[in-house]
Structure 1
């Protein structure tokens, strides 16, 4: 019937989570936790990405200081993976992914 298939349901869920992340208010404790996770989760975001606020000088992924992704974009990448970046959905809780997404958006000036 007119139901959504699995891929479309996943896409809607990821988009919805990104919309929520954009609206999530970043408090200093969550930003600090996001920074710690950015550098310590395995594999660490800092291994591939450059982000000055985290002292990260990765050479594989995009330079986040230049890309300036908002929290929704970071959250979608963490949940689903993108390009060679793996999904972190099995490695991190929703709360942890939100903390990283908010930290990156705040650090790059993309947070609104």
Structure 2
């Protein structure tokens, strides 16, 4: 948890390495978000092959779209209630940066 907050605050300061964003975002996507993003969504970089939600590699959402869906929910996807604001932003930036690549 402490690493997540640290990584997110560094990201917001603009000095985090891209690899750190990818590693932390992947961890949030596959192990921290409730429900787990990886259970429902396909995202090649995360090794996720969910069949319920949209394929994020095909959708290629920008960070704002991911963040809005996580905060408010959309369709069958519930709003995320366990991640802090900085974690949601980091996860949204992760998805936007790796989807479809």
Q: TM-score range by the shorter chain?
A: 0.7 to 0.9
SS state of the match for residue 61, structure 2?
coil
Equivalent residue number for residue 69 of structure 2:
77
Given the two structures, how large is their TM-score scaled by the length of structure 2?
0.78
State the match for 1:62 in structure 2.
Answer: 54
How far 1:99 sits from its partner (Å)?
A: 1.1
RMSD: 1.8
Q: Distance in 1 between matches of 2:59 and 2:42?
A: 10
Larger Rg, first or second structure (1 or 2) = 1
Could you give the per-residue CA deviations for residues 54-112 of structure 1, whole angstroms, max 9, x where no partner exists?
A: 00000100000000000000000000000010101x211011101110110010259xx
Unaligned stretches of 5+ in structure 1? 1-23
In the alignment, is residue 43 of structure 1 matched against residue 17 of structure 2? no
Shift in alpha-carbon separation, 1:98–1:50, aligned structure 2, 3 A? same
> After TM superposition, what 4+ stretches of structure 1 lie above 6 angstroms from structure 2?
none
